A and B are shown apart, each in its own frame.
Chain A
Amino acid sequence: MIRELRKLFNITGMLRRFIILTLLRCPFDALYTAVQALFLKHAFDAVNNAQTSSLFITCILFGVGNIILFLYNGTVWTVYTAFVTNWTAVLRRKLFRHIGSLSLRQIEMRTVGEWITRLNSDLHAATAMLNQPIHIPHAVVSLVNAVVSSVILASADMMMFSLVILFAVPHMLISRLIVAKPMTRLATDVQEAAAENASDMNAIIVCAAEALIYDAQSFLLRRFEESSLNIRRKSMRLQHRRALVNSLIPLMGMSGYLAALLVGGSRIAGGAMAFGSLTAVLQSRGRMLVSLMMFINSMINIKTALAGVRRVCDTMDIRPEDRDVA
């Protein structure tokens, strides 16, 4: 995955700027998690101890902290969006120019549908890694956030942290091995089916005169329908895998939550834990799991988009024949 991304950034440049902007985006979620956990802990402690002034100060500080965080986040996202728009334009321009520099023989080696797919959906998939939600930026952010949440949870209550990890790790492993791993291959199958479908669509236009004279429109439409169904079949395989991750959420998430609640409840009853601490622990657990879910989904999306990245890189790797002669 790293190799493909490096190749993609070799085409466009601007890797350093991307890393800096992505890292600048990271502190928001982590700090937001920490602020929320602190707020809940102090707010509930104040409520427990009936300290109105302490609750008022906690609320004021939480409000100010939120304003600062959102201003920071908005600024970073604005700069990042401008960067990604520029990056996408550079990649698109370079791909168009490269295809334009190929010889007719090289162009004719692939079908019209193949070129259309490479210029549209492959390019779209490649740029989606940077400009679509739940892709690289969210993967980095969610990973940092998961680490921060884990540290907060572990420092607050090691036993509860172990309990959460016990339910989170199998979910991560299943998602990684069964869903994320085959995603690139499944997405490549979809892109290839899309290229075939685009060729069949092209034939309806290019062969229009012959189709009219020989009454072959239904024949061409049938072929187009078959290749459209093939895309759907391939896409369904991909979506089935995605659905598997979603089905794991209630299984692992709810059972983990109930276990934490039962253990926490019995510890409160035994006087070993305050209600405010349990609330903060559950909040940290929630943030940690949300981050892990986002990370898993981001990885699945990145693996899917890698099919497009590979095909874009493959196109850029074709050496123009005329340049060789020169």
Chain B
Amino acid sequence: MGIRVENLRYAYGSKLVLRDISLFVNAGEYIGIVGVSGCGKSTLLKLLAGLYQTQSGVVEVHGACRPEEIRKNVAMVMQNTVLFPASIKENITCGHPMSEEVIWQACKAAQLTEWITSLADGIDTFVGEQGGKVSGGQAQRIAIARAIARNAPVILLDEATSALDGDTGSAVLAALDSLTRGRTVVSVSHRHETLANCSRIYKLEDGRLHSL
């Protein structure tokens, strides 16, 4: 199924940010898009996530074209992860019914188990407003666990590996590896070197996509 984008154009008012973008990603393929800040990478990713309605052209994700249908097939992880002001568990389930087994498997894959078991309230620990009571790395791994538990066929990564360092960085990378394995992945970044795992890399410049 994968992803199909054809002749996609998108503008904020009179400012055209994406011009005639065409992109085909096979199921299970991992591709990267690189570009400077403000070039339209996040806009493209939001269109692929079904967060924005297309203005012109086609976006088809895992066979779905309507935004509300597209959203059912994707999970997204961002650099600046936003968590809900709720418990770790609620951040993973997003309020949906989910078995304990699925939740703990997601936690394990996201390298969270050890940390969660060390907490007094365990998986019911409140993460604070916008994840203010957990570190950036922990928040990102909770977001990854959420994406794993979602079990979506398409994964979108927005600068997900741009600010990783040390032990936290390797834990997040391992978590991301669990998340993306066997899935269709589109990863965007402003740094070329963070897209080393990609089978194809594109550069987004002046609203157009160029193959590298």
User: Chain A interface (Cβ within 8 Å of chain B)?
Assistant: 108, 111-113, 199-200, 202-203, 206-207, 209-216, 218-220, 222-223
Contact flags B78-91 to A (C-beta < 8 A → 1, else 0): 00001111100010
With a cutoff of 8 Å between Cβ atoms, the chain B residues found around residue A210 in the complex are: 76, 82, 84
Say yes or no: A212 contacts B51, CB within 8 Å.
yes
Closest residue of B by beta carbon distance from A113: B129
Say yes or no: A213 contacts B71, CB within 8 Å.
yes
List residues of B (144-158) whose CB comes within 8 Å of A's CBs. Answer: 146, 150
- Given A215-B94, A219-B84, CB of A112 within 8 Å of CB of B129: yes
Q: What's the least CB distance linking B42 to chain A, in Å? A: 10
Residue from A113, A200, A215 having most chain B Cβ neighbours under 10 A = A215
Q: What's the least CB distance linking B104 to chain A, in Å? A: 19
With a cutoff of 8 Å between Cβ atoms, the chain A residues found around residue B50 in the complex are: 212-213
Instruction: A223 to B72: give the CA distance in the assembly, Å.
Output: 22
Say yes or no: B85 contacts A200, CB within 8 Å.
yes
With a cutoff of 8 Å between Cβ atoms, the chain A residues found around residue B90 in the complex are: 219
Instruction: A231 to B45: give the CA distance in the assembly, Å.
Output: 39
A212 is contacted by which of B71, B75, B132 (Cβ under 8 Å)? Answer: B71
Say yes or no: A203 contacts B85, CB within 8 Å.
yes
Say yes or no: B71 contacts A215, CB within 8 Å.
yes
List residues of B (7-41) whose CB comes within 8 Å of A's CBs. Answer: none
Q: What's the least CB distance linking B67 to chain A, in Å? A: 9
Instruction: A206 to B84: give the CA distance in the assembly, Å.
Output: 9
Instruction: Return 18 A-B CB contacts under 8 Å, by A number.
Output: A111-B129, A113-B129, A199-B129, A200-B85, A203-B85, A203-B130, A207-B130, A209-B49, A209-B51, A209-B76, A211-B84, A213-B51, A213-B71, A215-B72, A215-B94, A215-B96, A219-B84, A223-B86
With a cutoff of 8 Å between Cβ atoms, the chain B residues found around residue A111 in the complex are: 85, 129
With a cutoff of 8 Å between Cβ atoms, the chain B residues found around residue A219 in the complex are: 84, 86, 90, 94-96
Instruction: A299 to B129: give the CA distance in the assembly, Å.
Output: 37
Q: What's the least CB distance linking A210 to chain B, in Å? A: 5
B84 is contacted by which of A215, A216, A218 (Cβ under 8 Å)? Answer: A216
Instruction: A219 to B94: give the CA distance in the assembly, Å.
Output: 7
Say yes or no: B84 contacts A220, CB within 8 Å.
yes
Instruction: A200 to B76: give the CA distance in the assembly, Å.
Output: 22
Say yes or no: B82 contacts A214, CB within 8 Å.
no
Instruction: Determine whether B201 belongs to the interface, using a CB cutoff of 8 Å to chain A.
Output: no
Say yes or no: A209 contacts B82, CB within 8 Å.
yes
Closest residue of A by beta carbon distance from B49: A213
Instruction: A112 to B130: give the CA distance in the assembly, Å.
Output: 10
Say yes or no: A207 contacts B71, CB within 8 Å.
no
With a cutoff of 8 Å between Cβ atoms, the chain A residues found around residue B132 in the complex are: 108
Say yes or no: A216 contacts B85, CB within 8 Å.
no
Say yes or no: A203 contacts B129, CB within 8 Å.
yes
With a cutoff of 8 Å between Cβ atoms, the chain B residues found around residue A212 in the complex are: 50-51, 71
8 nearest interchain CB pairs? A219-B95, A216-B94, A214-B94, A111-B129, A203-B85, A207-B82, A213-B76, A210-B82
- Given A111-B129, A112-B129, A215-B96, CB of A206 within 8 Å of CB of B82: yes
Q: What's the least CB distance linking B96 to chain A, in Å? A: 7
Instruction: Determine whether B74 belongs to the interface, using a CB cutoff of 8 Å to chain A.
Output: yes
With a cutoff of 8 Å between Cβ atoms, the chain B residues found around residue A222 in the complex are: 95
Instruction: A200 to B94: give the CA distance in the assembly, Å.
Output: 14
Instruction: A213 to B49: give the CA distance in the assembly, Å.
Output: 7
Instruction: A14 to B129: give the CA distance in the assembly, Å.
Output: 39
Say yes or no: A218 contacts B95, CB within 8 Å.
yes
With a cutoff of 8 Å between Cβ atoms, the chain A residues found around residue B96 in the complex are: 215-216, 219
With a cutoff of 8 Å between Cβ atoms, the chain B residues found around residue A213 in the complex are: 49-51, 71, 74-76
Contact flags B158-199 to A (C-beta < 8 A → 1, else 0): 000000000000000000000000000000000000000000
Q: What's the least CB distance linking B86 to chain A, in Å? A: 7
Say yes or no: B84 contacts A207, CB within 8 Å.
yes
Q: What's the least CB distance linking B130 to chain A, in Å? A: 6
